[in-house]
Structures are given as structure tokens and as C-alpha cells.
Amino acid sequence: MNVLNLLQRKLQDALTGLVSDPAVYAAMLKPAQEARFGDYQANCAMPLKKELGGDARQIAQTIAARLQLEDMLEPPAIAGPGFINLTLRSEWLAQQVRHMAGDDRLGVAPVEKPRTFVIDFSSPNVAKPMHVGHLRSTIIGDALARLLRFLGHQVITDNHLGDWGTQFGMLLYGYKHFLDAQAFQSDPVRELARLYVHVRNQIKKTAGAQGDEEEDPNDPIAQAARAETAKLHAGDAENLRLWRAFMPYCYEEIERIYRRLDVHFDHTLGESFYQPMLADVVRELCQRGIAQESEGAVVVFFGAEESPALIQKRDGAYTYTTTDLATIRYRLQQWNPDAILYVVDFRQGLHFKQLFDIVRRWGYDKVELKHVSFGSVLGADRKPIKTREGGAIELGALLDEAVAQAARRYQQTRQERIERGEEVPELTAEELEQIYQAVGYGAVKYADLSQNRESDYVFNWDKMLSMEGNTATYMQYAYVRNRGIFRKGGIDVLALRQPPPPVILQTSEERTLALQFVRFHDALAAAAAELKPNLITGYLWDLAKTYSSFFQNCPVLKAETVELRQSRLLLCDLTARVIQRGLDLLGIRTVERM
């Protein structure tokens, strides 16, 4: 039940025939900021003074009188300069909660008009180990895919691997000059990673445009590596053979990370896949007058201010942009999507702006193209996070650390709980490993997803693994504690759910919790509309707080009557289920016992 949407539609009906643009004003209905303003609040009366004339309170009265309340709403209250405060009838709320409890999808009906989304995310440049820079795209992209799919959309995930770029030149150069054949025999992935790093370290560095280090293009090894790349692209048999030999190891390397993060792709069509199509793309863009020759290269011009986009270099090489153009055409032909989402670092903003502009001029104007941009992961010094030696933190090592940190903290907390006299379950080594992984990976994901993706954030183990505050650890414990109630009471949750008992909303805490439940769908819809997973974590955090005050004030197993006990058990169960589902949409696991 998407309550916000339903109320906005009611308001729109009330405004129809009264104002010129009902939808615009109906959209001004929002959840109330404070309980004393009701559950939802419409503030459209004030801006409507211009169109309707007269007094805003009077306008509010008129609108309120036209609202179809049915069994959903209490009579509206007009407040302040002309706010319309709406309160859901508690009987209606109780009914909705009961319906939610009986539904596997927790009352979230699939969208009426499903769209087809292609989500381009993670997309690392392979041949070098994945590093912390790939974390955000992978985590945010996966969460968006899960969310949109759950809402009933068709989602096609595509990992646009950088598998054809200059890094292969370094690898080829390294393989030819520094190979440790025995190491390659026993652990090829590691040896390739070592070769890449080794070659990179041999190349002199200079200060780049943004003050960071860049490889000196005039360094002889850099030049030799570039020559290897050029040979590969020109179809040199030896380099192609080696490239083909390397690729399975590159896949293995990234797959290992994806398995740990529980991330899956429908397609992994790397840049190499599009190489045969590039000449045709350039030809077509030239024919249509979109691209043109300039100083021996082929470029697309934008405004006078903006630098042109290069689609074929003077030496005949194609670019990142050319490949992306071919990719869009391929995706449109294969899957005919309504939208393509690119979950990529904000630094590529100009690339996508120009890319989308060219695509429009090319005539593909139906598909929605969106750069789902995100900020950087910062270290304690507020600069992009690095290892102590100044290199990029490898993702594998980061995930190892996450599990180790989770294990250490879990053992510590467990000891404290034992000292406090709490009951702590005996767990097998396997169960413990499951917990460490769920907590460790969950912490990393949640810390990332709970930020507005457009901002940078500071990576901090203490904060992300804290048991208090808006963290995965807190949510996972809340879930476990909640499940503990059922174990303690010897209650069969499945039997409790079907059919769910009547819901009794006696106290204000119970009512507030019920209201929070029906907002689950609102939160998911908002997160999908803005492509912002932090709207889900924000919701879960509010839910956890609401639940906490319910649990402190309303005895559950010791409720006064059997009916009340059943109803409260149902509220507990629903809290656990919403937390579990919410975390699942973020790619975060729960465990039953900790």
C-alpha cells in the first residue's frame, strides 16, 4: 500500500475542477514532520492564493471539504496559515498492517507500469586488482537493481568491464619482461596482479592536473606499454593470444569479489565486445554530420565553450566515448530499455553529459539516460582513501579486514554480554563465520548506502561497526533480538502470520509503529524515484527507533490479554520482516542468532 501516493491521488481528485494544475499541487502532500500535525500534511493552500484569491485558510477549508475521506481518513484539520493536516483512521491503519502481515511482499504491490532498466555498474578496468574505487559503484548499483526488481520492474544488469584498455599494455609488457613462470603456474591471478603493479611502479610519475600523481607519458616503459596496447588493438596475433589467455584469470579475480559481496550480473559485456562495431559508429556519426574531422582526428563539437569529444584519434584508435556509443546502440537493439542507468563516479560527469548529448543527436531520443553519480570514499585525512604506502586499497584486502574487524568486535561484545549475565547462544564455527561475514560485509555496504550517494564520506571502521546508531550492525542486532522474543516465547511465527490476528492499536506507540509500517512502500518508492538507497536506510533507522519505544512501553509476552499479546507479537514479527526485507534490498544479510 503506497499510502503517500494514494493520498496524493485523493488530493488531486479534490483539486480537479478547482485549480488549473491539480497534479502539481497534489504532489505537495508530504508525511507530517511532527505527530501533532497529523500523519500527512498538504501545504498547497498557500501557493494557491495566487490562482484562487482570498484567504489561504479558506482555500484549505474548501479543499478539505472536497476530499473523499472514505474509511481511510479522519476529518482533516486546518492549521496555521492554511495547512491541511491529515490523520489516518486507526481502524484503517490496523487493517493495512494486518494485510501487510499476511503478504509475502509486505504490502508492496508491484508497479502498475513496469519499466525496463539497464543498469551499468561496477564495470572495473580488469587486469589490475579491484580496489576501493570500485566499491561504491558495485554496492550502489546492486542495491538499485534489487530495489527496482522488487518493485516489479524489469532489470538487466550489465558489467561494462574495461577489458581492452591501456592496462593490458602494461600487463603484456610485464609478461614479456618480468614473468615469474613458476609463480604464474601456481597462482596466475596473483602473478598477473604482481606484474601489473610491478610495471606501474617502474614508470616515472609526474604531478597530474588535479595535483595527484600521474604516469609520465614520456617514460620509456610507459611508451613501450602503449606500443603493446596499440599492437593488441591492431590485431597482433601474439598479443591477442596472450590477452585471451589472461582474460579468464581476470574474470576469476573479480568473480571472487562479487561472490563475497553477493553481487551478480546478467551480462558482462566488456569494452572488447564492442570493438568490431566502432568503425561503423564513427562512419554513421560522420554521415549524419554529427561528427567531423578535425586536425586528423574525428570529433563531435558541442557549444563554443566546451571541449569537443574525441571519437577517433589521429592514429586511428577509438576511445572510451566511441565504445560507450556502440554500447548504447547495442543495448537499445537487444533489450529496448526505457532507461539506462550508469552508476559511475562523479568525475565522469562531463563524459556522460557529452555522451548523452551525442546519442540524442544520433536520433535515440526515447530512452532515458541517467548518470547515477556518486562521491568519493575518503580516509581520515578527508582525502580519497589510500593505503599507508599511498596506493589504492585493494578490495579483497578491505573485505578481509571487514570480516576480521567484525569477528574481533563480535567476540568482544559476546564477552561483555556474558559478563552482564545475558544469555548468549553457543554457535558452531560455521555459524560464527556466517555472522562475521554478514556483519563485516553488511557494515561496509550499509555505511556506503546510508550516505546520500552524491556526497563523499569518510571510511571509518568504528563508526560503521558501531552497535549504536544507523549501522548495519545495529539493524542486524535489532533483528536478532526481535527473533529472540519468539524463541523465548516458544512461538511459531509462521502460524502467527496465517491468518494474522486482528491488529489492536491501543497506545500511541503501537499506532506510531503501525504508521511506520505503512510507510515502507512510500520509502521504497521514493528511493526508486530518486535512485537513492539512503532513503531506505533512513526509513529503517526510523523504524528501529519507533520499534524501540514500542518495545519499552508495551509488554509483549506479558500483555494483559491474549488478543493484545497476539497483536503485539505480530507487530514485532512485522518489524523483523521489514528490517530483513529492507536489508535484503540493500544486499545485506541477516542471521537468526548472534
In the complex, the residues that contact ligand ARG under the rule CB under 6 A are 120, 123-125, 160, 162, 324, 327, 342, 344
Per-residue cell: 272? 572488447
Separation between Cα atoms, residue 85 and residue 19, nearest integer Å: 20
Least separation in angstroms between residue 459's CB and ligand ARG is 19
The answer to whether 74 and 89 have CB atoms below 8 angstroms apart is: yes
Which segments of 262-364 does DSSP mark as H helices, in order? Answer: 278-287, 320-335, 349-362
The set of residues, in sequence order, having a beta carbon less than 8 Å from that of 308 and lying 6+ positions away, is: 294, 299, 300, 301, 302
- Report strand pairing: 116-120 vs 339-345: parallel
- Smallest gap, in angstroms, from Cβ of residue 178 to ligand ARG? 25
CA distances from residue 265 to 146, 155, 157 in whole angstroms, order as listed: 11, 10, 5
Please report how close the Cβ of residue 283 comes to ligand ARG at its closest, in angstroms.
21
Phi, psi (rounded to 5 degrees) for 342: -110, 110
Nearer residue to ligand ARG within complex by CB, 324 or 509: 324
Nearer to ligand ARG, 182 or 333 (CB): 333
Q: How far is the CB of 351 from ligand ARG (least distance, A)?
A: 7
Strands (E), 137-248: 154-158, 205-207, 213-215
- DSSP classification of residue 275: G
State the minimum distance, in angstroms, from the CB of residue 265 to ligand ARG: 13
Peptide bond into 499 cis (omega under 30): yes
Largest alpha-carbon pair distance within the chain?
87
Residue 13 or 345: which CB sits closer to ligand ARG? Answer: 345
Cβ closest to ligand ARG, residue 285 vs residue 344 = 344
Q: Which is nearer to ligand ARG, 130 or 570 (CB)?
A: 130
Query: Is the CB of residue 547 less than 8 Å from the CB of residue 575?
Result: yes
Do residues 380 and 460 lie in contact, with contact meaning Cβ atoms separated by under 8 Å?
A: yes
Q: 411 to each of 66, 416, 434, 474, how far by Cα in Å?
A: 60, 9, 14, 16
Q: Based on CB atoms, which residue is closest to ligand ARG, 354 or 567?
A: 354
Judge contact between 40 and 7, C-beta under 8 A. Answer: yes
203 alpha carbon, distance to own chain's centre: 36
In this complex, which beta carbon is closest to ligand ARG, that of residue 175 or of residue 356?
356
The x, y and z cell numbers of residue 390, run together, are 599511498
What CA–CA distance (Å, rounded) separates 30 from 414? 43
Q: Quick one: DSSP state of residue 298?
A: E
- Smallest separation, CB 558 to ligand ARG (Å): 56
Q: How far is the CB of 120 from ligand ARG (least distance, A)?
A: 5
Strands 292-294 and 297-300: antiparallel
Is 153 or 160 the residue whose CB approaches ligand ARG more closely?
160
CB of 162 to ligand ARG, least distance (A): 4
Is 161 or 586 the residue whose CB approaches ligand ARG more closely? 161
**What is the nearest approach in angstroms of ligand ARG to the Cβ of residue 309?**
13
| Alpha-carbon dihedral angle through residues 235, 237, 242, 247, given to the nearest 10 degrees | 40
Phi-psi region of 195 (alpha: psi -120 to 50; beta: other; left: phi over 0): alpha
CB of 165 to ligand ARG, least distance (A): 8
Strand 368-374 relative to strand 339-345, pairing: parallel
- Contact between residue 544 and residue 474 where contact means Cβ atoms under 8 Å apart: yes
Query: What cell numbers appear for 52 in the block?
Result: 484562487
CB of 71 to ligand ARG, least distance (A): 50
Q: What are the Cα distances from residue 548, in Å, to 90, 390, 400, 472?
A: 21, 43, 33, 16
Nearest approach, Cβ of residue 163 and ligand ARG (Å): 9
